Amino acid sequence: MPLLARLVALFAVAATAVAQDLPVDPAAPVDNPKPTWETQKQARTWQLDIPAPRGLITDRNGKPLAQTRLSYNLAISFPTPLDMSDEQVLAFARQQVTMAKGLLGREIALNEKSVLDHYRNRGVLPYDIAEDLKPQEMAVLEKGVTSTLILRQTYVRFYPENALGGHIIGYVGRVAPLSLRPIENGDVIFPQTEGREGLEQIYDTELRGQPGKMHVTFNAEGRKTSERIVRPPVPGLNVITTLDRDLQAICEDVLAKNAKRGAIVLIDPNTGEILALASWPTFDPNMFVPFVDAARFKAAQEDPAVPLLPRAFRSAYPPGSTFKTFVGLAGLEDGKIKPGTEFGCPTSIAVGNFVFRNWKKVDAGSLNFVQALTQSCNTWFYQAGLKMGSKPIIEWSTKLGLGQRTGLPLKGEERGNIPNDDYMLRVHKRKILQGDVANMSIGQGDILITPLQMAQALGVIANGGRFHQTRLVMQLQSLDNKVVAAYPDRVRAELPIQPEIMDQLRKALIGVTESGSGTAHRAQVKGIHVAGKTGTAQWGPTERQRTAAWFTGFAPAENPRYAFAAVYEGEPGDNDVHGGSHAAPLIGKVLKQVFAPTKAAEDAEKTDEAEPPADESN
């Protein structure tokens, strides 16, 4: 990766420069080339660690998503020996802060307890009073620093793409401060950071690198006599993800412009690589630079839009009619349903003492599988599900990875749920009944699926049944571009779908977007056959019930390059949200940009409103 190599090489030079430009007290005595025996005997040398710069996190093409940059802090350098009283320490610190305020022209708070703790325990090291200075502040300070008010370089994490992929990349926070205990050999010369969320957290050890070593020597009177680097730090490994920065940006942009809350996932069905994993709203990890501010973090946590929630993999929703794809596959592969099997599509049917209704208000007549899936006929699938029973539906759902974590290297991935008899006994104190099967057949009841799981399952169907392990990280690379660890394509399972069944599925899913009776016309892309399925389901407590509108599938239908899932979260009480009207357009807008030239995509956007209306309730 030439771009990555250049970035890392430049960063290595910068990191070395930092390690070799640590501040030294100009007032300290010059090293005596021939120290006396008494000085050697009573001298004290501290062996301190220099934190290493964290490695990069990049997209699949080497575009940086997380980097480390040099940062300058304004700090107080206490004179040695450290023999001032508490009153003298505070007076000295106040004097330095007053000088700093005059130079910077802004307020600087002084925590007196923190100053005293630092002086008593770590006074041999500078005490920061202003962090991550702006360029204009640096220009002023370069002429105003003294031997006791100094500039010192540290490392700061930053995210060049701002909010892009924020849920995936995560952020870092400072390791607990050391100022409350006396300094020890092996302590760091400035605070380290650790991953707190996302890939920053999971790969924290690999990203941290190897600390350098610095020796600081004091003579018998406690004055600093020398300070030298004995081993420079080694930057951490670089984490190369499977993400495509441009696809991630397209998905996030479409969500930002067309949904208050939702998610879009794109997977390569031929490798299992995640190309985009977008959740909306998102957050900018730079808000936690140079440190995680408690007030800012609390505000993000209490935001009603929940921007810190990665909906793509940490939220699970009832799938609604998108689940009919899996029900149809299960019935056809089990043999209980044939391509030519016909059921009526009335407005309702009775199952025991309950009446189950179709979403259409008119009888659609007798339909085969392709027609039923294209039109998303509930009553057809009730009858098909009751004929085959719950077993094949549960088995095929499980084979496709639904209701199970994908194994993504991110914490908190939601498991979802495919209810079986054990679950029903544990939760509802009974086994699966006929009414449960009817609900299951249209993706209702206790079924919960994450957008990531949904895209994964459609990827398996898209390639004919080969289940590639879903991956988010391609490899770890060292500073010199050597691959330290690789995560190659691995086939998790072979679920061969019979060719004639695959033809039926493809034909039905194309019909959803292209047929006059389909429900996803707004997902059409000129020159491309899009195979997909809409779904609409309610979830949440009754008084705050919301609608999850889905569109899932793959494209191009004949030779799939992308498997996708989109979820649009409706507002509480909004009953006008549907898969065809809200989720399908999200994918349509994404695919138009992916497959069409820029101008053609812009023209398509302008004609969206002019497309013929369709019955998009499901």
536: domain CATH number is 3.40.710.10
Q: Which helix (H) or strand (E) holds 543?
A: none
Same-domain check for residues 439 and 382: yes
Given a contact cutoff of 8 angstroms between Cβ atoms, the answer to whether 382 and 438 are in contact is yes
Same-domain check for residues 336 and 478: yes
Q: What confidence score (pLDDT) does residue 605 get?
A: 59
Q: What is the 3-state secondary structure (H, E, C) of 320-366?
A: HHHHHHHHHHHHHHHCCCCCCCCEECCCEEEECCEEEECCCCCCCCE
Query: Taking the alpha carbons of 178, 179, 182, 183 in that order, is the dihedral positive or negative?
Result: positive
Within-domain flag for 580:
yes
540-575 confidence digits (pLDDT tens): 887 788 999 999 999 999 999 999 999 999 998 888
For the record, the structure tokens of 221 come out as: 């009177």
Task: State the DSSP code for 551.
Answer: E
Within-domain flag for 475:
yes
Same-domain check for residues 46 and 96: yes
- Write the burial class of residue 300 (CB in 10 Å: 0-12 exposed, 13-18 middle, 19+ buried): middle
Q: Could you say which of 235, 253, 283 is where a domain stops?
A: 235
Q: What confidence score (pLDDT) does residue 542 get?
A: 78
Least confident of 7-11, 40-44, 301-305, 354-358: 7-11
Within-domain flag for 270:
yes
Strands 238-241, 57-58: pairing is parallel
Of residues 333 and 597, more confidence is placed in 333
* Distance between CA atoms of residues 208 and 237, nearest Å: 8
Backbone angles phi, psi at 460, to 5 degrees: -65, -45
Within-domain flag for 615:
no
For the record, the structure tokens of 327 come out as: 């029900």
430-476 confidence digits (pLDDT tens): 999 999 999 999 999 999 999 999 999 999 999 999 999 999 999 99
Confidence of residue 583 (pLDDT cuts 50, 70, 90): very high
Same-domain check for residues 464 and 525: yes
| Res 59 pLDDT > 80 | yes
218: helix, strand or coil? strand
Within-domain flag for 617:
no
Cis bond before residue 281 (omega within 30° of 0): yes
221: domain CATH number is 3.90.1310.10
Within-domain flag for 34:
no
Residues with Cβ within 8 Å of residue 490, at least 6 apart in sequence: 272, 468, 469
- Pick from 191, 63, 56: nearest CA to 476: 56
Same-domain check for residues 212 and 267: no
Confidence of residue 608 (pLDDT cuts 50, 70, 90): low
Cis bond before residue 26 (omega within 30° of 0): no
pTM of the model: 0.87
Q: What confidence score (pLDDT) does residue 366 get?
A: 94
Q: What confidence score (pLDDT) does residue 11 get?
A: 41
Same-domain check for residues 349 and 255: yes
Radius of gyration of the chain (CA): 31
Given a contact cutoff of 8 angstroms between Cβ atoms, the answer to whether 118 and 127 are in contact is yes
Task: State the DSSP code for 283.
Answer: -
Given a contact cutoff of 8 angstroms between Cβ atoms, the answer to whether 402 and 446 are in contact is no
Residue type, 80: T
Given a contact cutoff of 8 angstroms between Cβ atoms, the answer to whether 359 and 617 are in contact is yes
Same-domain check for residues 199 and 262: no
Within-domain flag for 240:
no
| Res 316 pLDDT > 50 | yes
Q: What confidence score (pLDDT) does residue 37 get?
A: 36
Q: Cα torsion for 114, 115, 120, 124, to the nearest 10°?
A: 120
Mean pLDDT across the stretch 578-600?
A: 88
| Res 28 pLDDT > 80 | no
Same-domain check for residues 229 and 101: yes
224-241 confidence digits (pLDDT tens): 888 899 999 999 999 999
Same-domain check for residues 200 and 297: no
- Most trustworthy range by pLDDT among 3-17, 165-179, 249-263, 356-370: 249-263
146-189 confidence digits (pLDDT tens): 999 999 989 999 999 999 999 999 999 988 776 678 888 999 99
Give, in degrees to the nearest 5, the angle at Cα 601 between 596 and 607. 130
Host domain of residue 397? 245-610
Q: Which helix (H) or strand (E) holds 76?
A: strand 64-76
Strands 562-569, 546-555: pairing is antiparallel
Map tokens 């006994």 to a residue. Answer: 425
Q: Could you say which of 198, 216, 235 is where a domain stops?
A: 235
Q: What is the 3-state secondary structure (H, E, C) of 450-490?
A: CHHHHHHHHHHHHCCCEEECCECEEEEECCCCCEEEECCCC
Same-domain check for residues 285 and 202: no
Mean pLDDT across the stretch 30-53?
A: 63
The shares of helix, strand and coil residues in the chain, as percent rounded to the nearest 5, are 35, 25, 40
- Write the burial class of residue 538 (CB in 10 Å: 0-12 exposed, 13-18 middle, 19+ buried): middle
505: helix, strand or coil? helix
Q: Could you say which of 188, 206, 235 is where a domain stops?
A: 235
Least confident of 22-36, 316-330, 366-380, 503-517: 22-36
| Res 269 pLDDT > 60 | yes
Q: Cα torsion for 356, 361, 364, 367, to the nearest 10°?
A: -30
Query: Taking the alpha carbons of 87, 88, 91, 96 in that order, is the dihedral positive or negative?
Result: negative
Q: What confidence score (pLDDT) does residue 505 get?
A: 97
472-495 confidence digits (pLDDT tens): 999 999 988 899 999 999 999 999
Of residues 530 and 227, more confidence is placed in 530
99-124 confidence digits (pLDDT tens): 999 999 999 999 999 999 999 999 98
Number of structural domains (the chain) is: 2
Confidence of residue 221 (pLDDT cuts 50, 70, 90): confident
Residues with Cβ within 8 Å of residue 352, at least 6 apart in sequence: 433, 434, 435
Q: Which helix (H) or strand (E) holds 153?
A: strand 149-158
- Pick from 458, 475, 202: nearest CA to 329: 458
Map tokens 């090293």 to a residue. Answer: 31
| Res 43 pLDDT > 90 | no
Given a contact cutoff of 8 angstroms between Cβ atoms, the answer to whether 146 and 95 are in contact is no
Percent of the chain past pLDDT 70, that is, above it, reads 89
Same-domain check for residues 400 and 516: yes
* Distance between CA atoms of residues 517 and 530, nearest Å: 15
Same-domain check for residues 286 and 192: no
* Distance between CA atoms of residues 393 and 432, nearest Å: 12
* Distance between CA atoms of residues 553 and 443, nearest Å: 16
- Most trustworthy range by pLDDT among 43-47, 68-72, 294-298: 68-72
* Distance between CA atoms of residues 444 and 318, nearest Å: 6
Mean pLDDT across the stretch 62-91?
A: 94
Within-domain flag for 36:
no
